[in-house]
Structure 1
Amino acid sequence: MTTPSDDAAEPVPVRVVLPADPVLGHPVQEVVARLWRRRQTETGWLYLVGLPSYRDREDGGVEAAEYRVWVRAPDQVWPVDGVDYDQVTTERLEPSPQSAVREVLGERRPSGWVVAKVREGRGPARGVLHAPDCQEAPQGAPLLDVESALNVAENPGTRLCTLCGCAQELTPLLSGFDHIGDSPGS
């Protein structure tokens, strides 16, 4: 429990939803509290609110007090109409630095594969399997997962694109990894 003098900033009103307590038979309640601070976290926003409370005085009396607690927004906190929240102390997350891996390798390509259908004369339909960000990949084609891409790749009429690396990624999965340890000509 704290007192308003703990913070130099002036709090602003905010609506706080108090949870129901089925054991005691208390329904969900909404109270107007005082918003002291906002903090952005990896999982969303937290608001430090001061809820109205009471405390015992040493002389046996009771006095008004404030109980401060962090609550999750927007689940437990709503704005009060007409209140300007721009003046509330706000702690924003700093953008996370890029990992060394991403810095060296660049952005990851989108996962999955797409098929470009190719018709050559009267024969059966043929296709070329691409990574979705390949410049030769058809726009708007459905994305295939690994298993579906391998099924398509096993079709004799399908070619694997070497431009985007599809062939390098899927060929070991199609032919197995047994050949990796083999010496040439064995």
Structure 2
Amino acid sequence: MTTSSAPEPVPVPIRVLLPGDQEVVAHLWSRRQAGDGWRYEVGLPAYRNGPGDSVEPAEYRVWVRAPQHVRPVDGVSYDAVPTEYLEPPSPVKKALGPSRPSGWVLAKTGGRGPGRAGVVHTVDCAEAPAGTPVLPLDQALGAAEQPGVRLCSLCGAAQVL
């Protein structure tokens, strides 16, 4: 038995699609936002056995998914239906601090041909030369494998790569 002093909400009509392509008008009691969509608490009209051999009207309440199983009734406002929304996700704090810009810079230090020397920097490194083309990850890894090329220790290119 509940002792809540809040009155139960007044239901509004809603169309419920049943198995076998049946459709009935039921009572909409509340709605709830779920991670994969909305659920509607509907009261389906039914009968139950009463005293003796009597039969009396009843209501069977069940949660159904929207929009697969419910449709609005034309001209009915659903603004007063008790609605439970999901809490917005809390901001996630980045464990490693702010993200760095993506990309790599190869600073050539001299020489020609496959044996030329150079230094690979992150794109935001203070030692990265300005105006040098930004390399994607696969090209930066390829450059780092070349003889005479090293990874900058100031910006941590070795740890990031």
CA RMSD of aligned residues (A): 4.1
Q: Which residue of 2 aligns with 1:94?
A: 87
Q: Which amino acid aligns with 1:55?
A: R
Q: Which residue of 2 aligns with 1:42?
A: 35
Q: Which residue of 1 aligns with 2:74?
A: 81
Looking at structure 2, the residues matched to 103 and 42 of structure 1 have their Cα atoms a distance apart, in angstroms, of 24
Residue 18 (structure 1) aligned with residue 18 (structure 2): yes
CA contact (8 A) 1:37 1:47 kept: yes
Q: Which residue of 2 aligns with 1:59?
A: 52
Deviation at 1:92, TM superposition (A): 1.4
Name the TM-score, length of structure 2 as normaliser: 0.59
- Unmatched tracts of structure 1, length 5 or more: 1-6, 20-26, 117-122, 139-143, 171-186
CA contact (8 A) 2:104 2:140 kept: no
Q: Which has the higher helix share?
A: 1
Q: Which amino acid aligns with 1:35?
A: L
- Unmatched tracts of structure 2, length 5 or more: 1-6, 106-111, 113-120, 125-130
Tell me: CA distance 1:103–1:65, structure 2 relative to 1, closer, same or farther (3 Å): same
Q: Which residue of 1 aligns with 2:140?
A: 153
Looking at structure 2, the residues matched to 31 and 161 of structure 1 have their Cα atoms a distance apart, in angstroms, of 71
The alignment covers a number of residue pairs equal to 131
Q: Which has the higher strand share?
A: 2
Tell me: CA distance 1:80–1:155, structure 2 relative to 1, closer, same or farther (3 Å): same
